[in-house]
Structure 1
């Protein structure tokens, strides 16, 4: 900021100290030019001559200026640190006292707080509307962490707290949700704000939200009622430990949120199918010296209800890419110039050969003969060379 611009703001700034516009102009002029006769002060400060005497007398009364007793009247400014130091100290003492009062009031509020629609026990029982309101307010006030395990009901509840989640993230809170795998493809999942770490697990049986390791809310999916624990006892500490254990086992989910909900849901089905049975089928084929890709699409449709043969090639690549992100934080890359599709896993111990077989089975079905090439250096990287370019 230029000095002229900064100085032009000073008259308005002095109004914070109770000075009028004329008083601020007069004081700044005396600060800049030293002692002045009243007529000179009126000239340099651009004050009406009829107002200059009244103005400097007010400054004198406020202990901001000194006016000589003899004529012509000579006006001098009191130095700023001496003039305003006492005012600043007074305001600082007032602010400190106000903070102490607010702290005492907050303590009384915390001790006597009781949510609406609640029944007091060792915890509070909240009706569905009160549960939503209370969870939202606790999340919005969070400063360090929000963790939750959520089924479909809990996820809908969390999506209704979108603005509160945004505020918590803005405050610097780390937000982590483990959602039920059945929720993949749900609009509620895709409506969550950015800034949330998401993972998924199968068959979650509870909705538990823990805020700042100080409050815990458990929500009943059958009726929407909730239990609010105002402080974490041994039970709450156990729930926090359970969450951390579950978080370590849960699969990454954030990777597929850029996908359309329908594609994400189908990718999850494919990932489950490969992990829960297709890998064993491929191993059996290898033992019997059979081609695992020959009847794979029929098995996937018959046993798992996955209809892949009618999909376009680009759609199929997107599907496998999303499934790999779910399964092993991996992905698919298509080298068009060399007709090579590369599949990679980024999770230790999660190989991509079964996925390469899935793609090989698909491309063979659509008349584009594949050849699987697995590098010796890394079992987590496999290539599928195609006989023809993908249209």
Structure 2
């Protein structure tokens, strides 16, 4: 008999949703209630279990036998039957491990299926390419080795950082030139006058980018069209591509297009950075805008002296009106070297300044007009004369000697 003043069936609220949760382990509703009651109250006679678990008496024996078969309970052999629950960790541990193994295997299957799906979605005829990330020290070492082994060509687009890297490979560059490799280097305007330029050996073709944005913010080098290195200027790390494929071919085409529009830099190598940068600005101004102003003055038979200098100062920020005559001559000489591989000569005996272009299609008449306007502004009346024997040479005869 049960002492109902001391014991009473466990209310359903005690178990919460555990009976339903245990169904995940394959237990029926009766089995779940019986097991929960046994772990809550300990070993019980079959009749007590039926009472506390609120099970029909006709079902309790069948229920505990099923729990025993599932290794969740132990039932005594003698009467009255005593039922005890196997501790949860022991009872369900093997089942949990089994399900974890199944989940891991299912994840592996899903991964394999995903790979098959990815392969199916990849464009036909495509293949995966890889590159290597190098730290700053390894990047310099790798660039040195590749440059030294170059046999056909080296092309590079560099900023100040990349220029310094190349200058540290001087010995290897000399070896590449000796081996017959053509080396072409594109630099940004910020590199003009940089001491690293003077460290590069002879035999290297140098040009400065002459687009509207002359600042290069990355470095890309291609060696023998078999290796490509991209260097990050912020930390010196590099990405090494062991094969150029389609991406490399595109970069090579871009280089060739920019190279054709770029300017020679040899004439500006000896200049100080400030002079070299100003000479480049003057060259761009004359070619991109000042020539139109000169044509307008010529058509109207106007004297371009003051107006032209004002345009140069106001629109292009060149500030040439305030320069001394030696400074102006040096600036125009540097600009001519950059613009047309030409230069400026001053014949003091005859009081003549001669301007020459060595690039076909690049005329120096606009430069003569600029210089004549400067001298007229300075109070020294000029006269422009074309050289009949050589149209690439223009003379500016001055009324007064230059001090």
The aligned counterpart of 1:211 is: 223
Secondary structure of 1:295's partner? helix
The aligned counterpart of 2:175 is: 167
Comparing 376-385 with 297-306, greater Cα deviation is found at 376-385
Distance 1:272 1:243 in 2: 21
Determine which of 262, 267, 278 is the counterpart of 1:250. Answer: 262
**Contact 1:342-1:384 at 8 Å conserved across structures:** yes
1:361 counterpart = 2:369: no
Distance 1:172 1:196 in 2: 11
The aligned counterpart of 1:143 is: 151
1:370 counterpart = 2:382: yes
Q: Deviations over 1:328-385 (max 9, x none)?
A: 1221122222111111222232221211111112212322211112346655322111
1:271 counterpart = 2:283: yes
1:259 counterpart = 2:271: yes
Determine which of 213, 231, 234 is the counterpart of 2:246. Answer: 234
Distance 2:323 2:308 in 1: 15
Distance 1:259 1:366 in 2: 25
Residue 181 of structure 1 and its aligned partner are, at CA, apart by 2.5
Residue 133 of structure 1 and its aligned partner are, at CA, apart by 1.9
Secondary structure of 1:284's partner? helix
The aligned counterpart of 2:82 is: none
**Contact 1:175-1:195 at 8 Å conserved across structures:** yes
Secondary structure of 1:149's partner? strand
Distance 1:191 1:369 in 2: 43
Residue 265 of structure 1 and its aligned partner are, at CA, apart by 2.1
Residue 205 of structure 1 and its aligned partner are, at CA, apart by 5.6
The aligned counterpart of 1:332 is: 344
Secondary structure of 2:143's partner? helix
Gaps of 5+ in 1: 1-119
**Contact 2:134-2:237 at 8 Å conserved across structures:** yes
Distance 2:306 2:202 in 1: 42
TM-score, reference length from structure 1: 0.63
**Contact 2:189-2:277 at 8 Å conserved across structures:** no
Q: Deviations over 1:174-215 (max 9, x none)?
A: 221011133222233233233211011133464211112221
Comparing 128-137 with 182-191, greater Cα deviation is found at 182-191
The aligned counterpart of 1:157 is: 165
**Contact 1:370-1:384 at 8 Å conserved across structures:** yes
Determine which of 358, 375, 379 is the counterpart of 1:346. Answer: 358
Residue 253 of structure 1 and its aligned partner are, at CA, apart by 1.2
Which residues of 2 match residues 48-197 of structure 1 at below 5 A? 122-197=130-205
1:384 counterpart = 2:396: yes
The aligned counterpart of 1:323 is: 335
Distance 1:181 1:380 in 2: 27
Distance 1:130 1:257 in 2: 30
Secondary structure of 1:341's partner? strand
Q: Deviations over 1:301-322 (max 9, x none)?
A: 2222223234333332221111
Comparing 353-362 with 212-221, greater Cα deviation is found at 212-221
Change (3 A) 1:382 1:136: same
Distance 1:357 1:121 in 2: 56
Distance 1:320 1:264 in 2: 11
TM-score, reference length from structure 2: 0.62
**Contact 2:232-2:238 at 8 Å conserved across structures:** yes
Residue 300 of structure 1 and its aligned partner are, at CA, apart by 1.9
The aligned counterpart of 2:292 is: 280
Output the aligned Cα RMSD. 2.4
- Structure 1 segments of 4 or more deviating over 4 A? 375-379
